[in-house]
Each structure stands twice: as C-alpha cells, then as structure tokens.
Amino acid sequence: MALIPCSECRREISSRAPACPHCGCPVHVATRPCAECGQQIDASAVACPNCGCSTSATEARTPGRSAPANPAPAAATVIPA
C-alpha cells in the first residue's frame, strides 16, 4: 500500500482507498503498463511490483521511442594464447 496525497484536500491517504476518508473525494490512481510484463502499475512507481523491472528501463522501452539507427558494434576481446 502506498500513501498518496488526496487530489482535493492533499492529506495522505491509501492508494487502495476508494475515496478519501477525510473529504470523501474519489481516489483515482494513474497507472501505466509495465513494458516488461504488461502489468498495470502506479504511474509514480520506481519499479514494477510484479516483475521488478525498473521504470527508467520501462520508459526507455516505451512504444513510440526509437532505438539508435546505428548502434555501436561490440568490441572484440583478444586473449593471447
């Protein structure tokens, strides 16, 4: 359970509460899908609670963002015999 500020009275409330117990305002938690597993997660989450994927990695994989056109080739390691 995460504590979030009520959008109306700004007091801390449970993100799982259907409404603020202080002012009665309905609680709406913004969510987005995890890029790794697809689970809906809190938009402010640092990592997916289902698979552990970092949200910074999730943002890097967000559809619509393109990967570099020509990624740098991996360097070969030569080990003397």
Give pLDDT tens digits for 36-51. Answer: 999 988 888 889 988 9
Q: Which pTM value belongs to this model?
A: 0.42
Neighbours of 28 (CB within 10 A): 7
Burial class of 27 by CB neighbour count within 10 A (0 to 12, 13 to 18, 19+) = middle
Q: Are 57 and 66 in contact (CB under 8 A)?
A: no
How many angstroms separate the CA atoms of 6 and 1, rounded? Answer: 15
Confidence of residue 21 (pLDDT cuts 50, 70, 90): very high
Structure tokens at 10: 């700004």
